[in-house]
Structure 1
Amino acid sequence: MSEQSPEMEIVHLLRKVTVEFGLRQAEFASRHGMHPTDVRALICLLDAERAGDDATAGWLGAQLGLNSAGTTAVIDRLARLGHLTRTRDPRDRRRVLMTVAPPAVELGRSFFGPLIDDTVAVLRDFDESETAAVLRFLSAAHRAVTTIS
């Protein structure tokens, strides 16, 4: 058996975590009558809210890599399920802003909460420099993945 470099071991572990998280997302989607893209859309909307960014249909479509028709289908499906609210932008009534409905947040928390809590507990055992290294690595890995053409 060949010895693996620490860097490649980390790459393979990151892949394993990513695959497992994707499986949990698919399981959540299936249990709640959603498509996996619907879950990705909810994650994008939650990220936008955390960042203080406005989420419009055009913005969401760009995040998901969908055309206008595909984006509309996702938005309509999520609204029909009660997971998404649409409101007119008070600054520009032509724009419609989207947010995740509170019951959908609770639904996600009930499913993903234990995973999040366990992950946070692991990180609490890290010292400040270890946490900074994890943040630096994951940020750089995210940049690398999002710049692949």
Structure 2
Amino acid sequence: MDPIREDLLDRVVRALPGWQVLVVQFNDTVASALGVSASDLQALFVLSRHGSCTPGTLARHVGLSTGAASRMVERLVEAGLATRAADPADRRRVLVTAAPEALDAVSRRYQPLNDDLREHLGGFDEEGLRAMLAFVHAAEASTQRHLDGAGGRAAVPAGAQPDGPRGAGRART
């Protein structure tokens, strides 16, 4: 392999953890500002991407036991960030839905960062943006495989699209 390319690959891979740490810290700051835990914020993200789901499905996506997820849902409902209602298709099941106001509040917190990211990406041509998107999806999928192999949590499937445009600032963790 070309040594210049190899060096660039190494530099990119070494740079990613620094950004990942900052993203986790930013997510914690957003969660704190909203008065919720990091897991609660992740749940809002899952609900923004997938729409309403059962507490069990939410538990799998956020990596919690069903008991912990039930307590999380209770916190979100009590805080007015989500609703819980019988599934119209099967009244024995309960569906959790993020409150639109909660998603808007999360969106407002992420909008300045999303604006910066769009500005940074603005220098790339369409081919570069497609390559970046492919990288992000592949990185998400490989991270999921490693989580699965380590007994970690199930997450949002790689490449899944959130409700509305990604740049709209829906909850992201």
With the shorter chain as reference, the TM-score category is: 0.7 to 0.9
User: What's the secondary structure of 2:129's corresponding residue?
Assistant: helix
Tell me the residue number matched to 2:124. Answer: 126
Quickly say closer, same or farther: Cα 1:117–1:73, change in 2 above 3 A: same
One-letter amino acid matched to 2:104 = E
* Residue 33 (structure 1) aligned to one of 32, 35, 43: 35
User: What's the secondary structure of 1:5's corresponding residue?
Assistant: helix
TM-score, reference length from structure 2? 0.76
CA distance in 1, matches of 2:79, 2:37: 12
What's the CA shift string for 1:82-129, capped at 9, x where partnerless? 111122222221222222111111211221111112212332332111
Question: Is 1:89 the counterpart of 2:87 in the alignment?
Answer: yes
Deviation at residue 32 of structure 1 after TM alignment: 2.5
CA distance in 1, matches of 2:34, 2:15: 29
CA distance in 1, matches of 2:91, 2:123: 48
One-letter amino acid matched to 1:131 = L
Tell me the residue number matched to 1:105. Answer: 103
* Residue 55 (structure 2) aligned to one of 51, 54, 57: 57
Identical aligned pairs, as a percentage?
A: 31
Corresponding pairs, count: 143
Tell me the residue number matched to 1:8. Answer: 10
- The root-mean-square deviation of aligned C-alpha atoms, in Å, is 1.7
Tell me the residue number matched to 2:70. Answer: 72
Q: Which moved more, 1:71-80 or 1:102-111?
A: 102-111
CA distance in 1, matches of 2:80, 2:14: 38
One-letter amino acid matched to 1:8 = D
Task: Please list every run of at least 4 consecutive aligned residues from structure 1 whose deviation after the TM superposition is greater than 4 angstroms.
Answer: none
One-letter amino acid matched to 1:24 = F
CA distance in 1, matches of 2:27, 2:15: 18
